[in-house]
Amino acid sequence: MENLLKVGMAQIAPVWLDKSATLNKIYETIGSAAKENTELLVFGEAFLPGYPFWLAYTDGAAWDLKVNKELHAHYARNSIQIEAGDLDEICALAKKNSMAIYLGMMERARDRGGHSLYCSLVYINREGEIKSVHRKLQPTYDERLTWAPGDGHGLRVHPLKQFTVGGLNCWENWMPLPRTALYGQGENLHVAVWPGGVHNTKDITRFIARESRSFVISVSSLMRTSDFPKDTPYLDKILAKAPKVLANGGSCIAGPDGEWLVEPIADNEGIFYHTLDFNRVYEERQNFDPVGHYSRPDVTKLMVNRERQSTVGFEE
């Protein structure tokens, strides 16, 4: 039925900072989700190849510190270049299984020189096509020591059966204007991806759902020190200060009335499933629609720059 959508939340741990091994884990996860007839599968923020947890435990803001430089270089080597075909197998699996995918990843963007890192959220449709790459607009706090700020090019929504789906990274979900940019394009299924933590998802998920009268899926990763590969640079330094659990999950789903469909799930690893019924969107939009009958564009209006930013433009 076109009004029903089965979604899967991949609350799993990456093989931290290891691109190849994490890609293999993604392939396996897609295969498992396909057996459950999943139509939309979501991975957490920066899942491929992992969140830069070391910054909090290695004096990350210290100037010219060798440990931070070497870890950043390791991160860059294990980040993704879409132009080089790094996501081709994921796209092929999406097409094979008629499954849409939202994937949080570290992008080493060639159109920005190929050396800086962007926290990107990629949408792959059920035909295996990459339809948007949203680079996080504003890295949060210590993330700015290793991630670059993105642009508005990826503020886009996509048709998926009767739904219109869009997504944001982590604390971008607290930014009213990017949310509004998605609402204004007809979003009614909002995907919020996080590095992990019930403290992140327990309030904002329901708030966005009630504000937008949309379904909201928050998907978080897990991360424990036991998930750190033994060959991680400076592993001993990281382990000396890191807690055993760095991210406890918190994946959840709220309905268009702001009430829980799946309450935040903590400490459990796996793919968690739920089927959404689009009719609930129409029901809740009856009394509130933030960009429709309950808006006043003659008084307040948002303008969005979706141009992909680059330092150099060439004319032949």
* Cβ atoms of 17 and 74 closer than 8 Å: yes
* Cβ atoms of 203 and 257 closer than 8 Å: no
* Local structure of 20: helix, strand or coil: helix
| Rounded Cα distance, 111 and 217, in Å | 30
Cα–Cα distance list, 8 to 91, 119, 204, 250 (Å): 17, 22, 20, 14
**Type of residue numbered 169:** N
- Indicate if 91 belongs to the active site: no
- Indicate if 136 belongs to the active site: yes
DSSP-assigned letters across all residues of 60-100: TTSTT-HHHHHHHHHHHHTSB-GGGTTTHHHHHHHHHTT-E
Question: Looking at 170, 187, 252, 284, which residue is catalytic?
Answer: 170
* Cβ atoms of 143 and 126 closer than 8 Å: no
Question: Looking at 19, 25, 136, 161, which residue is catalytic?
Answer: 136
Beta-bridge partner residues of 161: none
- Indicate if 170 belongs to the active site: yes
List the one residue out of 196, 225, 222 whose CA is nearest residue 54.
225
Question: Looking at 45, 143, 172, 284, which residue is catalytic?
Answer: 45
Q: Which residues are catalytic?
A: 45, 136, 170
